[in-house]
Amino acid sequence: MAILGFTLIAVIGTALSCGCVNAQGDNVQSAGAGQSSGIGGGNHANPVSPVSMSLHEASEELAFMKDMLSEMRMQGKDVSALNAIYRDAKEYYKQENMAEFEQSLSSFYATCRDISMA
């Protein structure tokens, strides 16, 4: 059971550190705004427009969110708050409202972090 919790924390930490989510929920920008790292670089911090996520990326995030929900449910965690956020994110995805989707994504990861730390 401890291994699953450790794995979950590692996954959330990876999501936060790779720029999937910023802890404050803001868009992530590189220090050299206007420059992007080359293909194959480890940290792809590109200048961020108000809507920076493609539908394909959002689809991948939804799948990851669903996996996280399953993992936390198997650990016996209360995922009711996460389910609500996931449903909202899924609806924003269907509406192609990426700005709201990204806010839901940030909220989802923050809630995951809070639940896993409890």
Q: Residue 110 to residues 19, 37, 43: CA-CA distances in angstroms? A: 14, 27, 21
Q: What average pLDDT does the chain have? A: 73
Q: Which residues span the domain enclosing 105?
A: 2-117
Query: Which pLDDT does position 34 carry in this prediction?
Result: 40
User: Into how many domains does the chain fold?
Assistant: 1
pLDDT digits (tens, 9 = 90+) for 35-91: 343 444 444 444 444 557 899 999 999 999 999 999 999 999 999 999 999 999 999
Q: Which residues of 47-68 are buried (b: 16+ CB within 10 A; e: fewer)?
A: ebeeeebeeeebeebbebbeeb
Query: Which pLDDT does position 12 carry in this prediction?
Result: 57
**Reported confidence tier of residue 97, pLDDT bands at 50, 70, 90:** very high
pTM: 0.58
